């Protein structure tokens, strides 16, 4: 939700349904709103409350909601949503039950003809089933990542559905669910606590090297592990899709790697423990013909050794 939208305050839900006449491609229910006036306080309070080394499901929720709310406040200047998700994170930090978002509280476009709201609803059912069948206990940080990534996906669908439908939040949700449901296994388990493994991905918009808000969640987890384990080495590999020339894509992938490297250093990871390389479109995660814009190939792959 953008900063100019109306605010109902806190976590309140307006009680009267709103219909948009003549807009049959849009579905709408009164959305939950944060409070722009309280955002700086609540985002800062959540940053102070997040655990240095997340271990439990509630730890993971606290940490990931801190990353999401901070990104919404500082990068997108969406103070209302920043406040809302900061409140969810603070509730988790205080031991309260914090469920995944109900998409009916958000303005999600194109139910007709694209069934975007149905997709979100079915994905939420899948998430809740995985959580309730032992996912919180078995893989607590993966489960937390799945929930916060889902919430981020819902929020992004309201603000920018064209990029959100196949954007980083959605991909992070699918990656976490694949782990949570046992479709694939982590490459290695973190030494200090249960977690999502040692391979991470930071995605980018087409022809861009700026970090997306969702990247802060991932980089925060990487930095926490790196700072906790003094011998761990961080390897970054920047990549690009095949929409540009070889020379251009090499430069673009270098800029993406440099952005991730700078963010990790700013978050306290020693420079000497980060190795960076870039390959342009030469090692694509998803092979495509030349000229194809493939979002999954616009990535910096992070491996911890």
Asked whether residue 191 carries a pLDDT value surpassing 50, the answer given is no
pLDDT digits (tens, 9 = 90+) for 235-284: 999 999 999 999 999 999 999 999 999 999 999 999 999 999 999 999 88
User: Which range, 152-166, 205-219, 261-275, has the best average confidence (pLDDT)?
Assistant: 261-275
For 116-136, how does the pLDDT look when each residue is reduced to its tens digit (9 = 90+)? 999 999 999 999 999 999 999
CB 238 within 8 A of CB 284: no
- The pLDDT value recorded for residue 229 is 84
- For 230, other C-beta atoms within 10 Å of its C-beta total 8
- pLDDT band of 198, cuts 50, 70, 90: low
Q: Which CATH superfamily is domain 198-305 in?
A: OmpA-like domain (3.30.1330.60)
Those residues whose C-beta lies under 8 Å from the C-beta of residue 216, and which sit 6 or more positions away, are 67, 68, 70, 71, 263
For 39-51, write each residue's pLDDT tens digit: 899 999 998 998 8
Residue 84: pLDDT band with limits 50, 70, 90: very high
User: What pTM did the predictor assign?
Assistant: 0.56
Q: What percent of the chain has pLDDT over 70?
A: 84
Over residues 214-226, mean pLDDT: 85
Going by pLDDT thresholds of 50, 70 and 90, the confidence category of residue 32 is: low
Lowest mean pLDDT of 23-27, 58-62, 97-101, name the range: 23-27
Positions of CATH 3.30.1330.60 in the chain = 198-305
Position 101 confidence tier, pLDDT thresholds 50, 70, 90: very high
Q: Are strands 274-278 and 234-238 parallel, antiparallel or unpaired?
A: parallel
Instruction: Work out the mean pLDDT of the chain and round it to a whole number.
Output: 81
CA dist., res. 71 & res. 208, Å (int): 17
d(CA 65, CA 63): 6
> Helix and strand tally (H, E) in the chain?
10, 6
């Amino acid at each position: 939700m953008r900063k100019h939208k109306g605010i109902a305050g806190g976590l309140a839900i307006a009680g009267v349904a709103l219909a948009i006449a003549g807009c049959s491609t849009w579905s709408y229910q009164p959305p939950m709103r944060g409070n722009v006036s309280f955002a700086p306080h609540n985002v800062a309070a959540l940053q102070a409350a997040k655990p240095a080394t997340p271990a439990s499901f509630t730890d993971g929720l606290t940490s990931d909601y801190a990353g999401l709310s901070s990104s919404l406040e500082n990068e997108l200047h969406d103070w209302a949503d920043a406040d809302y998700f900061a409140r969810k994170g603070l509730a988790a930090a205080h031991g309260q039950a914090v469920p995944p978002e109900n998409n009916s509280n958000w303005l999600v476009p194109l139910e007709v003809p694209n069934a975007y709201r149905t997709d979100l609803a079915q994905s939420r059912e899948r998430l809740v089933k995985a959580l309730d069948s032992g996912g919180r206990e078995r893989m607590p940080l993966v489960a937390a990542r799945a929930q916060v990534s889902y919430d981020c996906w819902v929020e992004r669908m309201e603000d920018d559905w064209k990029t959100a439908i196949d954007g980083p939040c959605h991909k992070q949700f699918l990656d976490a669910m694949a782990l949570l449901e046992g479709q694939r296994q982590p490459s290695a388990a973190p030494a200090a606590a249960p977690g999502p493994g040692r391979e991470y991905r930071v995605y980018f918009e087409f022809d861009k090297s700026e970090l997306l808000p969702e990247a802060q969640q991932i980089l925060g987890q990487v930095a926490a592990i790196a700072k906790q384990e003094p011998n761990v080495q961080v390897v970054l590999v920047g990549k690009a899709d095949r929409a540009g020339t070889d020379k251009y894509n090499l430069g673009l992938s270098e800029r993406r790697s440099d952005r991730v490297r700078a963010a990790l250093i700013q978050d306290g990871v020693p420079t000497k423990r980060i190795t960076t390389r870039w390959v342009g479109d030469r090692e694509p995660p998803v092979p495509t013909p030349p000229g194809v814009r493939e979002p999954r190939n616009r990535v910096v792959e992070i491996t911890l050794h």
